[in-house]
Amino acid sequence: MKIKIKKYAQAFCEATENLSGDKLTDAVKNFVAILASAGILSKQKQIIAGIETELNRRGGVLVVKVKTAAAMSAHEKTELAKKLKIAFGSEIKLVEKIDEQILGGLVLEAGDYLIDGSAKQQLTALKRRLIA
């Protein structure tokens, strides 16, 4: 049975919750040994990202990846975070990425949601409608 990265991240968070010092160190060593025996140490970056996501989820924080063609101002980030907090009912942590290829607008990734409001996507959709 293949276990998903998300399940490893959840298991790690459960196993290490409320631990500190030597007990935490031992738990981390045991977790790494489990990953090694499962042959998935090469997926360490994805597992660490999964752990971060799980810790944020447990803390009531939703990480939202925002892709824009140009950097957003501090005011734009604040306003976007406020609107997303209302929409999702969680504290929001924005992770911004600049991608000039989207031309304008933005692309949001939040959990299982993908919202593509980029100019590139809108132009592609318009092209499909014109060709059809």
Top CATH class, 60-131: alpha beta
Express each pLDDT in 10-52 by its tens digit. 999 999 999 999 999 999 999 999 999 988 889 999 999 899 9
Q: Between 132 and 58, where is the model more confident?
A: 58
Express each pLDDT in 56-85 by its tens digit. 989 999 999 999 999 999 999 999 999 999
Spatial separation of the C-alpha atoms in residues 119 and 23, rounded to whole Å: 51
Q: Which of 109, 106, 104, 103 is nearest to 88 (CA)?
A: 109
The pLDDT score that the predictor gives to residue 9 is 92
Spatial separation of the C-alpha atoms in residues 123 and 132, rounded to whole Å: 14
Which DSSP string do the residues of 16-83 spell out, in sequence order?
HTT--HHHHHHHHHHHHHHHHHTT-GGGHHHHHHHHHHHHHHHTTEEEEEEEESSPPPHHHHHHHHHH
- Using the predicted structure, report yes or no on whether residue 1 has a pLDDT greater than 70: no
Q: Which helix (H) or strand (E) holds 84?
A: helix 74-88
Spatial separation of the C-alpha atoms in residues 119 and 63, rounded to whole Å: 23
The pLDDT score that the predictor gives to residue 3 is 74
The pLDDT score that the predictor gives to residue 6 is 87
Express each pLDDT in 18-29 by its tens digit. 999 999 999 999
For the chain, the structural domain boundaries read: 5-57, 60-131
Quick one: average pLDDT of 103-116?
91
